[in-house]
A and B are shown apart, each in its own frame.
Chain A
Amino acid sequence: MDWLTTTRKAFALLFTGDADLWTIIFVSLKVSLLAMLFATPLAIGIGYLLATASFRGRKLLIHLNQGLLASPTVVIGLLLYLLLSRQGVFGSLHLLFTRRAMILGQIIIALPVLVAFTLSAVQGADPRVQETSLSLGAGQLRTAVTTLTEVRFGVMAAVFSAFGRVVSEIGCSLMVGGNIAGFTRNIPTAIALETSKGEFAEGIALGFMLLAVALIVNFSLAFLQGEGGLK
């Protein structure tokens, strides 16, 4: 394989704006962004509770979450497939090989990452934050929001990290999405397909697209949170 030719081809493909390519990018964005949209508030809530509340089984839950961080996406895909298959418990919902199934899978993949980072950020918060809030008369909810705002850089790190993991994952998307052209084919599964056909230039071009997408999303998020995004 000639590196120079491959890279040149990659850039050429990038700039011709193929319709298929745009569909693939669209699927990646739609699935991963929606997954993050659903997973983030839920995970932040869970992370905060794990960090601040005390209840039986708390330690166990934390260990469980850390363990899930290491689960291969293909295993999550397999478990989800077993649930969503016509044979499975939720088979009658006809979710297999749809984008919704992919979103579901990516929510499951994103949750442990988001929870772990939020937990860490809140645990690292200055203890005076909660005390000050409480003393000034803030209720539990407002204190929680205040604490999370004070550690927002840690929480943003959670979001960036989780997004990175889901937008680049392939095992789960392949399993429950099926890599259907024009429908459930996202950038990573498309790269796998192109590679399996020996179309390495296409694969690399798609890889660049994925990086570009991730960079754009991250910059946008950072911009939205103000202060230039960086400490």
Chain B
Amino acid sequence: MNAPLFVIEKIRKQFGARVVLDVGGLALHAGQSYALTGDNGAGKTTLLRVIAGLESAQLARALYRGLAVNLCAYPEWLRRDVIYVHQHPYLFRTSVKDNIGYGLKARGAPYRERELLVQEAVRWARVEHLIDSPAHKLSAGEKQRVALARARVLKPRLFLLDEPTANLDAESRQQVVTLIRDLCDSDGVAVIACHDQEIIQLPGIYRLHLQAGQIDHRGGQLPARDPSDRSPLGASAASTPAESLKWQAVAND
């Protein structure tokens, strides 16, 4: 079993007496994707944003590849490996191409390399026909795809997607789910807050349920795959209760 990429030791956030988040001992493993479910207002977005360093908390300690991190004093270097995508992603008032290349430019990637990576990302997101269009004029579905491409092109270790298919029409949803499925196949970790059954039931997804500020592991249909395992459904066909319990134990390390 590979060591976890990201371990939440303790995240605690409260407004006065109301406890919004009280999450402890949650391990996220490389190559694994997680669906974060929960009622509206349960705190899914808040949790993702705290992990992304976009929101404060009373207490937020984590381990990144074994290194202790205080998420309240978010280290700059961690931002390279963690990307958060809003539910309604904001695309800059420039072309789709420049949007996707934004992070690359910020990292000082040379022009030629940028061009190649952006072209590849554009193909991946199936937005070739929009490449020079003004990004803020795209439809919701198109924006989501561009935002995903914009994040993916940077090869982050941890994707945090906030309800990526909410408010999309059926066709756009399909297109976005296809991309997310591909994201989940990568070496990184994807945590996707959603209500969408299609995502929750994606092969290999492990479900985390947030209720009353706490994570309740609902398990996944399949255990985590080895990163070298590229088969679509993974080595074992279905989980057994014993397997799920083992998962729970490991996750609670």
Contact = CB atoms under 8 A, between A and B. Distances in A.
A and B touch in their complex, CB below 8 angstroms: yes
Contact of B90 (A128, A139, A149): A128
A137 B93 contact: no
Interface in A78-133: 126, 128-129, 131-133
B76 A136 contact: no
A131 B54 contact: yes
Contacts of B93: 149-150, 152
Contact of A136 (B53, B54, B150): B150
Given A134-B54, A135-B52, A142 B106 contact: yes
Contact of A134 (B79, B86, B88, B89): B79
B103 interface: yes
A138 interface: yes
A133 B84 CA distance: 10
A23 interface: no
A6 interface: no
Nearest to A130: B54
Contacts of B86: 128, 131-132
Nearest to B88: A128
A131 B84 contact: yes
A126 B79 contact: no
Contact of B106 (A137, A149, A150): A137
A152 B83 CA distance: 26
B102 A136 contact: yes
Nearest to B147: A132
B111 interface: no
Contact of B103 (A129, A131, A136): A136
Interface string A135-153: 1111100100010011010
A155 B54 CA distance: 26
* Interface of chain B: mostly helix, strand, loop or mixed: mixed
Nearest to A143: B106
B47 interface: no
Contact of A129 (B80, B88, B90): B90
Given A137-B106, A142-B106, A132 B90 contact: yes
Nearest to B102: A136
Interface string B225-236: 000000000000
Contacts of A134: 53-54, 79
A149 B76 CA distance: 23
B79 A137 contact: yes
Given A136-B154, A146-B102, 5 more contacts: A134-B54, A134-B79, A135-B79, A136-B103, A138-B103
Interface of B: 52-54, 76, 79-80, 82-86, 88-90, 92-93, 102-103, 106-107, 150-151, 154
9 tightest CB-CB pairs across the interface, nearest first?
A128-B90, A136-B103, A138-B106, A135-B84, A132-B90, A137-B106, A131-B54, A137-B103, A137-B79
28 contacts: A128-B88, A128-B89, A128-B90, A131-B86, A132-B89, A132-B90, A133-B106, A134-B53, A134-B54, A134-B79, A135-B52, A135-B79, A135-B82, A136-B102, A136-B106, A136-B150, A136-B151, A137-B80, A137-B106, A137-B107, A138-B103, A139-B76, A139-B106, A142-B106, A146-B92, A149-B92, A149-B93, A150-B92
